[in-house]
Chain A
């Protein structure tokens, strides 16, 4: 079965510093991986996805993620954090890419706190 894990409940960084939010995955076959962000009392917003090709994926709001097949990881990164980046971040994997359910399986979420 497909699964993702986010090993950190919370990540704290200072504004202007680089940030990394970690995600590891377990899939059968090729992984389709996604990152979402959730601000307080809001729905989830899509940031970026990895399907195939270049291991470095660029997304919204200056975020990028690095796909590493040997380490089965898909860490979210940003070179310079902003206070407004403070939010809850979810990594997700497509359930059975060859199937047609379209379901996403989410990690448990990581709270990013960026301090001024």
Chain B
């Protein structure tokens, strides 16, 4: 079992609300990632981080923002949620070795009404 945790697992909120999806890992991994999973099930990278104070935009443009103040913590924030943000958000981490796999959290399913 990978030691990477996401909260909340499910969230239903109204348009315009600010939300933060939490992601924490206890493996000491430097690299962390946020993927967005469409209803059609494809996975798209929206943010990643090489380490503390490092954040980069992913391949899919997103209105969300991330921060990396501590190695173990990589939260994702939406300042003003909209129905188009409804999706599943998956957090992952890796040791940084080129041959290493990613470890995923259980996901946060966000529904914006």
Contacts and interface: CB of A to CB of B under 8 A. Distances in A.
Judge: A and B partners, yes or no: yes
Contacts of A100: 50, 96, 98
A102 B96 contact: yes
A101 B109 contact: no
Interface residues of B, number: 28
A43 B106 contact: yes
Given A103-B48, A108-B42, A51 B99 contact: yes
Interface in B16-50: 31, 33, 35, 40-43, 45, 48, 50
Contacts of A46: 101-103
A36 to B, nearest CB: 8
Contacts of A109: 41-43
Given A41-B109, A100-B50, A88 B41 contact: yes
Contacts of A45: 104
Q: How large is the interface on A (under 10, 10 to 19, 20 to 34, 35 or more residues)?
A: 20 to 34
A102 B104 contact: no
A102 B107 contact: no
Given A94-B98, A102-B96, A43 B43 contact: no
A103 B96 CA distance: 10
A108 B41 contact: yes
B56 to A, nearest CB: 8
Interface in B63-113: 90, 92, 94, 96, 98-107, 109
Contacts of B103: 46
A109 B58 CA distance: 20
Contacts of A97: 98
Interface of B: 6, 31, 33, 35, 40-43, 45, 48, 50, 58-59, 90, 92, 94, 96, 98-107, 109
10 shortest interchain CB distances as A-B pairs:
A43-B104, A44-B104, A106-B43, A43-B106, A102-B31, A51-B99, A46-B101, A109-B41, A102-B94, A108-B42
7 contacts: A32-B99, A44-B102, A45-B104, A46-B101, A49-B101, A102-B96, A108-B40
Interface of A: 32, 34, 36, 41-46, 49, 51, 88, 90, 94, 97-98, 100-106, 108-109
